[in-house]
A and B are shown apart, each in its own frame.
Chain A
Amino acid sequence: MCVLFLRQRNVFFQTVPIWFNKSYRLRTGTARKWDKYDEGESVSRPGKLYSTAIDIRNTVGNVPMEWYQDYPHIGYNLDGKKIFKPIRNKDELDEFLDKMENPDYWRTVHDKTTASDIRLTDEQVDLVHRLQKGQFGDVNFNEYEPSVDFFTNEVMIHPVTNRPQDKRSFIPSLIEKEKVSKLVHAIKMGWIKPRKPKETTPQYYDLWAKEDPNAILGRHKMHVPAPKMRLPGHEESYNPPPEYLLTEEERLVWEQQDAEDRKLPFLPQKHSCLRAVPAFSRFIHERFERCLDLYLCPRQRKMRVNVNPEDLIPKLPKPKDLQPFPTTMSLVYRGHTSLVRSISASPTGQWLVSGSDDFTVRFWEVNTGRCMKTLEVGGAVKSVAWNPNPAVCLVAVCFESTVLLLNPSLGDRLVVSSTDQLITSYEPPEEDKEQAVTWALSEGPEHNKGHRLTLTHPKAVKQVVWHGKGDYLSSVMPDNSSNLQVLIHQVSKRRTQNPFRKSKGLVQCVSFHPLRPYFFVATQRYVRIYNLIKQELTKKLMTNCKWISSMAIHPGGDNLICGSYDCRLAWFDLDLSTKPYKMLRHHKKALRGVAFHRNYPLFASGADDGSVIVCHGMVYNDLLQNPLIVPVKVLKGHQITHDLGVLDVTFHPTQPWVFSSGADATIRLFT
């Protein structure tokens, strides 16, 4: 017999509060049957709290009360009469008001089965408290009564039963005997041996006694042995030299760094004696990390480049051996007030002409730096070109849409007068052809200023170039959409022709071949070479540049250099390939001008970084030998104004001198 306690307090509150009285106790198995508790007994008890009047027990049994949701009643009482729900249900507000106002609210429970509120009496509350504490419901129940053993532990003299013992309990077993004799026999015969104690210590022997080279697996050739641990440096010493200890700031930086970023994985420390050295707290960690490295890290053989950096520098001939070349800035021609776009030297080398954005053309004496003449023209001068024929004294100047042929009247009188004669001796042909430009002869004050011929173009002209013989002249009018970009003029016959039927792109610059009847046209990315006699395209050079700025042709005619706005200079060997023989990236900024020397194996390039780089560019007559290109001098002097440095470079026709014009409104001579 035992006593069970209802610990399911919720159930208890919801359903049973009515029948509790002082001596309430449940018997075994009644936990589930308490519904059928004999009502009469409790009712008939004297001194009951509740009279029979409130005997409204619901007889529906243990069914969910939701089933009666839609009905006015909630069940049936003992007499089979309906139990009606209260007329008005309490809503939240009522509940709340009740909670606030009713002092007995805490001891009121709701009976679902009868849908009524019941106020617990003091005894009931007391009972609930006791049950909550885990005490017995009955106050008088003594839980510590002395226990009484059912069976005694003492051995009694009389047996429990009177049955006599079996015979088999005192006769040895035959089956066992058989088994034992079998085992004995097996032991005698040596079939069964005592169990050997297991060897726990490993046995070592000469594993490599027979080293068979053939037994080595092929995979050993592929095996990459793990790299050894790094050997410790001075800083790991327990007593390092003072310079290896970290200063306070370094220590702070070390502490704030991530473990991976740290240069040293530990803090160097100094201990005065060996006795003071503590254990290294990360010892096991480091060993474990090494283990992880050994079996989790991919291994790779890395070729360490072990080169002397000096060996990487190419062995070039010494610049000293490649003299002469310009080395120092000797003259500065000042006078222009705006950037000097273009310069050109006379074929004798005595004069220099420059065109600037301040609407003037100036003529200089090369040796003295004196400005001989200044001519005002009606626009920013884009390009000037001195006629290369020494017997003619003519300068082509282009500004806006005009090309002006000037006779500067400098130098030999005879030449000057013969030039004038040459121009005046022109006889207009019988049949007048319609031409792209209008030729006009200058007269009066303009003639006195030096103007000789004016060629009015339909569009703005960017560049003028003379042919080597000095009779032909080409002008460039960059325009992407039309075929009228390049014109070739013949001065003696005052004739103009448009060599191209189709536009192949924005023309940057043009040039004549110095010896043969070829014509070079540079568009943004390509240089096309046309044969003027056959009137066909001979070659197309891929420059690998983004935007060509300038072009120069070697006096031999077989080599060409192109400067580009993306800082490169491409050297083409026309016999070799249509791709550059060499790309030079010497300048830091866009190249503006390139030039070849007429006699010496020199070429120069000027760029926006304000420097002129002179290179030795030797071309050999032997076709098998490639040109030799050696930079020999970096000339500096121009100031950078408005992000522009050197705008044009040109060589002296006879001396190894180079002129450069810059955005700082100066022209400089390097000798």
Chain B
Amino acid sequence: MGGLQKKKYERGSATNYITRNKARKKLQLSLADFRRLCILKGIYPHEPKHKKKVNKGSTAPRTFYLLKDIRFLLHEPIVRKFREYKVFVRKLRKAYGKAEWTGVERLRDNKPGYKLDHIIKERYPTFIDALRDIDDALSMCFLFSTFARTGKCHVQTITLCRRLTVEWMNYVVTSRSLRKVFLSIKGIYYQAEVLGQLITWLVPYQFAHDHPTDVDYRVMATFTEMYTTLFGFINFRLYQTLNLVYPPKLDSKAESELKAEHEEDYAMDSESYLEKLSALSASLARVVATAEEEENQLDHFPTEGEDLENMQAREKEQKEQEAQKRLFEGLKFFLNREVPRESLAFILRCFGAEVSWDKSLCIGGTYEVTDETITHQIVDRPDMDKQYINRYYIQPQWVFDSVNAKMRLPVEDYFLGTTLPPHLSPFVEEKDGDYVPPEKLKLMALQRGENPVQEEEEDDDDEEEEEEDEEEEEEEELTEEKNLKKMEDKRAQGKTLAVKVTPGKVKPWETGSAGNKVRLEQEEKAEEKRLAIMMMKKKEKYLYDKIMFGKKRTTREVNKLTAKRKAHEDASKAQKKQKKAKKQ
């Protein structure tokens, strides 16, 4: 007995967390400002382990922040700027009210602003950290750069986003670091490998946005503010690594070529320059003029055993990558006006092709349709009036599929007006047990260098084999009895085929000794497993059941997809037959 009574909620986890409202009061900020600060500083709420303890016995739903985080925010210089801005707004309102126009002007001139450089440095202490986190920044900037210059946000933000994205695309083109592209219903996904980091971003299709009303654009604008700062610094650094001039300048040669045409169409010089940059058709100026890019050869070190294997694998990978970088080298493309110019020009230039387009479409087209050396013309219309013999007329999907396949795919499937093969996502990596669409299997065979042109029947055979494989997989999952039954059936079938005995007379367990043994063995194994499962601890059993449940679910999904595919193929075959019959 004795001693002071311990008070509740004055130690332990209750003191480590703070609710949002308390945090806001502690920082003396309005909710909107608090949100802005959290976004800029990257502070997010935490979920306490014991919510009731932290909430002082109440179970009301509250957002909790770590007290440490809030203390960290306390001495952030930007907080003071927020307060200053609040005062500025008040003064401005007053001046307006009194119609003191000179006062308004003076206040406007001294509008308090802030910089986010130090926050970026603090949040991302190393360059790689920043590069890892750039996915969202890229997607956001690409989205903002497509906004119309009205209403939703400042025009400066939009132009800045556009500028930064153009810089980024130019960097990717120059460094040839694009790896994967994907045409989805949402937009176009790109994946680039920059300094060893895989960076994925999504660009919406070029349409006017139908701005939703239930979206808070202030939040988006705050994020964009932070992202543009981050993005600019990253661009600067990336340009530096390639010895490029920042802000980007066109090659002197290209510049002189471009100068002649279209200069008068643009009101402002800066505007036309951005346009020229965004055309992506010319290379960029470098700080130090190097003759050619040096190839980074892997040095050979004497290695043994596994290391050697690893080394070889790495070398192989490197070679493949180099090959992919030169995928379209030597090809000359012409983009018709109905295809998405920017994305296609970007992709083609990333893999070393020459691209041009109609003069009236955009600045920066280098040759005309009539050029005889054009090898491919990308077209997205059912038919063309005037066609040149010495070039392929292909649909844009060919470019995307070729990039993903890391090889130039046969152009026949992508000709003008043909039904396109399905476009697969390059981001899916199938593990064993997952569903692999037959198109992917075909593609993989192509990549391995197998006979690309196969008879349809053979294809069918392949598919059947696949199905069988899958069936076998299923069997593992099925219960033992079913398994046995199937095996018996199979054996019975085999017997009937070989010996031609009417089924029913031959009992498999009486005749086939070899099969019997196999069956017995399997039975034994299954029993062993069942008994061992009985001996599992409760915790492990739970985990095991969960894993098995998940596996079963995936197989169920795979089966569903296979069945759907089969049904679809049967239907299409039947249609074909009908057509044939009609023709005859």
Interface residues of A (CB under 8 A from B): 195, 198, 200-202, 204-208, 211, 215-217, 219-220, 223, 225-226, 228-229, 231-234, 236-244, 247, 266, 268-269, 271-275, 277-281, 283-288, 290-292, 294-300, 305, 307, 309, 312-316, 318-320, 584-586, 629-634
Contacts and interface: CB of A to CB of B under 8 A. Distances in A.
A234 B531 CA distance: 41
A356 B136 CA distance: 78
Contacts of B533: 313
Contacts of B120: 207
Contacts of B101: none
B298 interface: no
By Cβ-Cβ distance, the 9 closest A-B pairs, closest first, are A279-B207, A231-B427, A298-B47, A243-B565, A243-B564, A241-B422, A204-B232, A208-B127, A216-B125
Given A208-B126, A229-B135, A294-B44, A238 B423 contact: yes
A275 to B, nearest CB: 5
A220 to B, nearest CB: 7
B212 A207 contact: no
A304 to B, nearest CB: 12
A409 B428 CA distance: 80
B294 interface: no
B439 A295 contact: no
B273 interface: no
Nearest to B130: A208
B187 A240 contact: no
B233 A280 contact: no
A266 B186 contact: yes
Interface stretch (B24-32, B234-242, B494-502): B234-242
B143 A236 contact: no
B83 to A, nearest CB: 21
Interface in B136-155: 136, 139-140, 143
A629 B160 CA distance: 73
Contacts, number: 253
Contact of A220 (B63, B125, B184, B428): B125
Contacts of A207: 117, 120-121, 233, 236-237
A383 to B, nearest CB: 30
A113 B339 CA distance: 88
A290 to B, nearest CB: 7
B219 to A, nearest CB: 6
B185 A277 contact: yes
Contacts of A286: 186
Interface residues of B, number: 105
A294 B136 contact: yes
Given A219-B72, A316-B531, 14 more contacts: A204-B232, A208-B121, A229-B135, A237-B422, A238-B423, A239-B183, A240-B424, A243-B561, A275-B339, A277-B183, A279-B205, A287-B220, A296-B45, A312-B543
Contacts of A291: 39, 140, 219-220, 223
Interface string B150-168: 0000001000100000000
A216 B123 CA distance: 9
Nearest to B20: A296
10 contacts: A198-B109, A206-B233, A211-B125, A217-B125, A237-B184, A238-B423, A244-B561, A295-B35, A295-B44, A312-B547
A217 B122 contact: yes
B125 A232 contact: no
Contacts of B72: 219
B212 A284 contact: yes
B534 A631 contact: yes
Contacts of A632: 531
B547 A236 contact: no
Contacts of B135: 228-229
Interface string B296-330: 00000000000000000000000000000000000
A237 B183 contact: yes
B534 to A, nearest CB: 5
A285 B292 CA distance: 45
B184 A232 contact: yes
B556 interface: no
Interface in B107-138: 109, 115, 117, 120-122, 125-127, 130, 132-133, 135-136
B80 interface: no
B564 A242 contact: yes
Given A228-B200, A237-B182, A288 B535 contact: no
B535 A239 contact: no
A635 to B, nearest CB: 12
Given A294-B136, A630-B535, A284 B200 contact: no
Contact of A297 (B43, B45, B422, B551): B45
A318 B132 contact: no
Contacts of A239: 183, 397, 420, 422-423
A656 B424 CA distance: 62
Nearest to A239: B423
Nearest to B566: A243
Contacts of B381: 275
Contacts of A243: 437, 561-562, 564-565, 568
Interface in B209-256: 209-212, 214-216, 219-220, 223, 228-229, 232-233, 235-237, 240, 246
B160 A202 contact: yes
A294 B339 CA distance: 35
Interface in B532-555: 532-536, 538, 540, 543-544, 547-548, 551
Contacts of B423: 237-240
B516 to A, nearest CB: 16
B102 interface: no
Given A297-B45, A307-B547, A200 B156 contact: yes
Nearest to A288: B215
A297 B395 CA distance: 43
Contacts of A307: 543, 547
A202 B216 contact: no
Nearest to B240: A206
B427 A299 contact: no
B232 A274 contact: no
Contacts of A206: 233, 236-237, 240
B187 to A, nearest CB: 6
Given A202-B160, A237-B183, A279 B209 contact: yes
A234 B437 contact: yes
A313 B532 contact: yes
Contacts of A242: 422, 564-565, 568
A561 B535 CA distance: 16
Interface in B568-582: 568
Nearest to B189: A232
Contacts of A241: 422, 424, 437-439, 565
B375 interface: no
Contacts of A215: 125
A485 B528 CA distance: 44
A268 B184 CA distance: 10
Contact of A204 (B233, B419, B437, B565): B233
Contacts of B368: none
Nearest to A271: B185
B153 to A, nearest CB: 12
B19 interface: no
